[in-house]
A and B are shown apart, each in its own frame.
Chain A
Amino acid sequence: MNQQLDEHGRLRHLLTTEGLPRDLMTRILDTAESFSGVIGKSVKKVPLLRGRTIINLFFEPSTRTRTTFELAAQRLSADVLNIDVATSSASKGESLLDTLRNLEAMQCDAFVVRHGESGAAHFIARHVNPGVAVINAGDGRHAHPTQALLDVFTIRREKGAFEPLTVAIVGDILHSRVARSQIHALMALGAGEVRVIAPRTLLPSHIQRFGVRVYEDMDAGLDGVDVVIMLRLQRERMRGALLPSQGEFFRRYGLTEKRLERTKPDAIVMHPGPINRGVEIDSAVADGPRSVILQQVTNGIAVRMAVMSMVMGAGGETTAAAVQEEQLS
């Protein structure tokens, strides 16, 4: 889907990690790396997007994602407007297109969009004025590219190169936009092997076509992996005959210290959050030494700063250079 690249191959929108070229993805990660220095400083702001307006347009509730986008925008000195559509005009029957047109009339420069329907971010990107950027903050089951990018950023920081790594993604793959985006990102970055582990009811059809190995048995799937990514299991999955109970799911697919023994001794444990303790992950693991779950949250800010600066034309290596200058001055 090249809708997200301009004619020069630069990032115009960020809608999905599928089809995102490896060098571009690496550039996002490098840029994020340079921003992560800013975050640690006492003055946490750079003026890259001063005078620009970013609208966080959330049609689904979210705390973590919206907050980190908001922080990222503020640290780039942009003006941020949070619009929680779940409680505003959409519930009054306004169409997505009308909502968009009204917000555009307020002269914004970028939309960060979360929506319950797959393809919503593509739809918005197709309909915005030229020059307005769209960042997908999660659409239906389709994609959550910034989450996947912060995950590979975290993996790169912890592990270095991707080639030797075996990564296992565990749980509700069927409904997970995060898993889809992670798989595409890991594949593009050349990860040695990506596994998905789930009961058949939570595996989407033809997932092998993404290039992953499918495991229905968790112990076998965790054997010798470097990275374990646990997915959140929504409580409503117990309805609709996907699973018999949370207890049975945890017994077969929950990550415990005992199960973690199957992995490499230095394996890291990740989770996009929010975690369900005792449903997909045991507290001892979530809070344990292998867990990098909170680092993921921190890294989310730098990665989102990188994406925002790049899609808003302050982009790429120039951004990194500008930041370094900023830091020196």
Chain B
Amino acid sequence: MNRLAIQGGHLVDPASNRDGPADLFIADGTVVAVDTPPAGFTPDRRIDAAGCIVLPGLVDLSAHLREPGASRKGGIVSEARAAAAGGITTLVCPPCTTPVMDTPSVVELVHSRAHEAQAARVAPLGALTQGLEGEHLAEMAALRDAGCPAMADGGRPVSHTLVLRRALDYAATFSLPVVLTPEDPHLAAGGRVHEGETATRRGLPGQPAATETAELSRILALVEETGARVHFARISTGRGAELVAEARLRKLPVTADVAIHQLYFTDLDTVEYDTAAHVRPPFRTQTDRDALRRAVADGVISAVCSDHQPHDPDAKACPFADSEPGISGVETLLALTLRLVDDGLLPLTEAIRRLTHGPAGCLGLEAGTLAPGAPADLTVADPQAVWRVTAEEMLSRGRNTPFLGWELTGRAVTTVVGGQVVHPPRPPVSYHR
């Protein structure tokens, strides 16, 4: 038996409309009651959440764990633990591993390593096509049975429109959502930054906003015909957000997310060739950033993710265009999203919704709420805790973040996955009782 009581905290559970003081009672990995304990409930452990907010565990729709394939950059164990420390309880990871996540055996490997980590859950996305090469369909049904909640292009858009159409139809056969990268590969080719004044000044090859809007339009045309459930990964332009809003108004089954750093930086942040600000899609204009913020506030964008991409130092210690894109983000996702609340962009409950129920809904994950009966994945966070982002304190193997040195407010204190406290990690003693 494993009974846990979380008492004295302020529960924010947008999915069940809760935003107030409440105690939470957990048994065998499940939330069994909110407010009052079931008759005869005696907890094995109590967590005092006084002064803290109690949230459904964060669901991060994009985290590259670098395993299998690139262990210099990160690993399932290190990144899942870093995520747990950041209050994340579900990590959705894209299929662009080496080997590609296109067979159940790779999925099983990831699951077993994630189990070993005793930290955030890991939900690998299956490859939409074999080897992510955009030619032959992957065995989607087998991947689903192995535990993939959705299929994805893994950042390698399927350029052959007929193959994409068939992939969407086939995925729809098994009610599988499909996660697609809205990036026209030809317009993107070689472009490291947003096409605009900064790109011209710095002599860096740019990619226009049409890289995103052209691809969104192509995909939306196919969604219209197939009715396939599509999630757009990493919107970066204001016009892109508008296209998503229009599609949703027309009741097309599409959702979208944004990487948290897109809400803070613009192309001007690449002006000094800072490779930490090299991301894909690139930081765009201030107008785009403001539009993305509004789209998050309005709910057009239903999920905010970390787009976690840890790197070894060498990947960033080179001229800008030679550097690899991406930010190590799982440890800053919560605080940076809470900062949007401080900025007056959206209320706390909506901010938490974009990190929990919102992303879970995009892929139909059984997560993101603390209603009785739900899996006991939760985060107790101190919303007042002030801390500084430093390379030394990061748990991720990648310390590549442009937020280094930032002072942030709000931090996960305790993270629970399936009723087990995974952060802070338990001291290695097991003689009690």
Q: State the A residues within 8 Å of B (CB).
A: 1, 18, 95-97, 115, 117-120, 122-123, 139-143, 177, 180, 204-207, 209-210
- Nearest CB to that of A117 among chain B residues? B319
With the chains together, A97 CA to B317 CA distance in Å? 7
Q: How many angstroms between the C-alpha atoms of A177 and B196 in the bound complex?
A: 16
> How far does the alpha carbon of A160 sit from the alpha carbon of B199 in the complex, in Å?
34
Contact residues in B for A180 (Cβ distance below 8 Å): 200-201, 203
Contact B204 A118 (CB under 8 A): yes
Cβ distance B186 to chain A, nearest Cβ, rounded Å: 10
Interface residues in B309-324 (C-beta closer than 8 Å to A):
314, 317-322
| Bound-complex Cα distance A205 to B206 (A) | 9
The interface bits of chain B over 307-340 (1 if a CB of A lies within 8 angstroms of the residue's CB, else 0) are 0000000100111111000000000000000000
Given A117-B322, A120-B319, A122-B273, do A139 and B197 touch, yes or no (CB 8 Å)? Answer: no
- Expressed in whole angstroms, the Cα–Cα distance for A96 and B318 within the complex equals 7
Kindly state whether residue B257 has any CB partner on chain A within 8 Å: no
Q: Identify the B interface with A (CB < 8 A).
A: 195-197, 199-206, 208, 272-273, 314, 317-322
Q: Which of B199, B314, B318, B320 contacts A205 (CB 8 A)?
A: B199
* Chain B residues with CB below 8 A from A119, complex form: 202-204, 273, 319-321
Q: A118-B321, A139-B203 are in contact. List 4 more A-B contacts (CB 8 A).
A: A118-B203, A119-B204, A119-B273, A122-B273
Partner of A140, one of B196, B197, B203, B272: B203
**B206→A95 contact, CB < 8 A:** no
> Hey, which chain B residues are within 8 Å of A177, CB to CB?
203
5 nearest A-B pairs in the assembled complex, by CB-CB distance? A142-B203, A141-B203, A118-B203, A119-B273, A206-B197
Closest B residue to A18 using CB positions:
B201
Closest CB in chain A relative to B281 CB, distance in Å: 17
Residues of B within 8 A of A97 (CB): 317-318
Residues of B within 8 A of A143 (CB): 203
Q: Would you give the shortest CB distance from A210 to chain B, in whole angstroms?
A: 8
A-B contact pairs, 28 of them (CB 8 A): A95-B314, A96-B322, A97-B317, A118-B202, A118-B320, A119-B202, A119-B204, A119-B273, A119-B319, A122-B272, A123-B318, A139-B203, A139-B319, A140-B319, A141-B203, A141-B205, A142-B204, A143-B203, A177-B203, A180-B201, A180-B203, A205-B196, A205-B197, A205-B199, A205-B200, A206-B200, A207-B200, A209-B197
Q: For the complex, what is the distance from the CA of A118 to the CA of B196, rounded to whole Å?
A: 15
Residues of B within 8 A of A122 (CB): 272-273
Contact A123 B197 (CB under 8 A): no
In Å, the complex CA distance between A95 and B318 comes to 8
**Bound CA span A239–B197, Å:** 25
The residue from A115, A117, A123, A205 contacting B195, defined by CB atoms under 8 A apart: A205
Tell me the bound Cα distance from A1 to B272 in angstroms: 8
Q: Which residues of B contact A207 (CB under 8 A)?
A: 200
Number of A-B contacts (CB under 8 A): 70
Residues from chain A with Cβ under 8 Å of B200 in the complex? 180, 204-207, 209-210
Please indicate the chain B residues that have their CB under 8 angstroms from the CB of A120 in the complex.
319
Q: In the bound complex, how far is the Cα of B317 from the Cα of A205, in angstroms?
A: 28
CB nearest to A120 among chain B residues: B319
* Residue ID in chain A nearest B200 by CB atoms: A204
A117–B314 Cα distance when bound, in Å, is 16
B196 lies within 8 A of A95 (CB): no
**Contact (Cβ within 8 A) B195 A118:** no
Given A95-B314, A205-B206, is A117 in contact with B199 using a C-beta cutoff of 8 Å?
Answer: no
* Complex CA distance for A54 and B39, rounded to whole angstroms: 83
**A18 neighbours in B (Cβ, 8 Å):** 201
Q: In the complex, what residue of chain A is closest to B192 when comparing beta carbons? A: A118
Q: Which residues of B contact A118 (CB under 8 A)?
A: 202-204, 273, 319-321
Q: How far is the CB of B342 from chain A (nearest CB, A)?
A: 33
Please name all residues of chain A whose beta carbon is closer than 8 Å to the beta carbon of B320 when the two chains form the complex: 117-119, 123
Q: Report the minimal beta-carbon distance from B329 to chain A, rounded to whole angstroms.
A: 24
Contact check, A123 vs B272: say whether CB atoms are below 8 A apart.
no
Docked complex Cα distance between A146 and B195 (Å): 27
Q: Which residue of B lies closest to A205 (CB)?
A: B195
| Chain A residues whose CB sits within 8 angstroms of the CB of B317 once the complex forms | 95, 97
Known: A122-B273, A205-B200, A207-B200. A115 touches B318 (CB 8 A): no
- Provide the residues of chain B in CB contact with A141, threshold 8 Å: 203-205
How far does the alpha carbon of A97 sit from the alpha carbon of B320 in the complex, in Å?
A: 13
Rounded to whole Å, the gap between the CB of B402 and the closest CB of chain A is 16
Q: Are B318 and A206 in contact (CB under 8 A)?
A: no
Cβ of B55 to closest chain A Cβ, rounded Å? 41
Q: Chain A residues with Cβ under 8 A from B319's Cβ?
A: 96, 115, 117-120, 123, 139-140
Rounded to whole angstroms, the CA-CA distance of A180 and B320 in the bound complex is 18
Give chain B residues whose Cβ lies under 8 Å from the Cβ of A96: 318-319, 322
Name A117's contact: one of B201, B208, B321 (CB within 8 Å): B321
Complex Cα distance, B206 from A141, in Å, reads 12
Residues of B within 8 A of A139 (CB): 203, 319
- Report chain A residues within 8 Å CB of B318: 95-97, 123
Across-interface contacts of B314 in A (CB, < 8 A):
95
Q: Which residues from chain A contact B197 at a C-beta distance below 8 Å?
A: 205-206, 209
Query: Quick one: which of B197, B199, B203, B321 has the most chain A CB within 10 A?
Result: B203
CB pair B199 A204 closer than 8 Å: yes
Contacts of A115 in B (CB 8 A): 319
The distance from the CB of A126 to the nearest CB of chain B, in whole angstroms, is 9
A177 nearest in chain B by CB position: B203
B275 smallest CB distance to A (angstroms) = 9
